[in-house]
Amino acid sequence: MVTYFHLEFPREIVTKPIMSDAIRKTSASINILRARIDETHGEIVAEVTGDRSEVDRIAGYLRDRGVIVQELSGSVSVRVDGCTHCGACVSICPVKAISIGRDFEVVFDASKCISCRVCIPVCPVRAIQAPPL
């Protein structure tokens, strides 16, 4: 089973080795798809592979250490009539749900989208939306 998470690390814990400890203490596989971390805050989009109990164990382990854990599901949506096909969202998508087609227009594959939302703030015309968490 593959589950996707958005993880936020507040200032108090951003310099602690929480992810490496989680990997060592569980048998699930954790793949970091995207990370933005500095001395004040950290955000990670991660793919966790394992059975439901193992995934829940990792999520609980992270929460117990102060990480804000949100399981991702669903898909963002792209308003085709509002998209200018600038391509700003293409390179930032960690699962390649957004690409450039043969006609040089942005193509969105909702079946690949994990709703990580990293594409939303880069869209200059706000054509990408997501359901509330």
pLDDT in the model for residue 15: 92
Q: 100 with 121, same domain?
A: yes
Q: 127 with 88, same domain?
A: yes
User: What is the rounded distance in angstroms from the CA atom of residue 23 to the CA atom of residue 47?
Assistant: 12
The closest of 13, 33, 14, 9 to 119, measured between CA atoms, is 33
Q: 17 with 61, same domain?
A: yes
Domain end among 42, 57, 72: 72
pLDDT in the model for residue 23: 86
Q: 85 with 64, same domain?
A: no
One digit per residue, the tens of pLDDT, for the chain of length 133 reads 889 999 999 999 999 999 989 888 887 789 998 898 999 999 999 999 988 988 999 999 999 999 999 998 777 888 878 899 999 999 999 889 999 999 999 999 989 988 888 899 999 999 998 876 5
Q: 133 with 110, same domain?
A: yes
pLDDT in the model for residue 26: 81
Residue pair 7/61 in contact by the 8 Å Cβ criterion: no
Q: 64 with 102, same domain?
A: no
Q: 6 with 61, same domain?
A: yes
Per the structure, the count of domains in the chain is 2
**Residue 68 CA neighbour count, 13 Å, CB half:** 10
CATH number of the domain that residue 43 is part of? 3.30.70.260
CATH number of the domain that residue 108 is part of? 3.30.70.20
Residue 60 belongs to domain spanning: 2-72
Range list of β-strands (E), the chain: 2-9, 29-37, 42-49, 68-72, 77-78, 98-100, 106-108, 128-129
pLDDT in the model for residue 133: 59
User: What is the rounded distance in angstroms from the CA atom of residue 83 to the CA atom of residue 71?
Assistant: 28
Whether the model clears a pTM of 0.85, i.e. scores above it, the answer is: no
| Residues recorded for the chain | 133
Q: 67 with 80, same domain?
A: no
Domain end among 72, 96, 124: 72
pLDDT in the model for residue 60: 94
Q: 62 with 85, same domain?
A: no
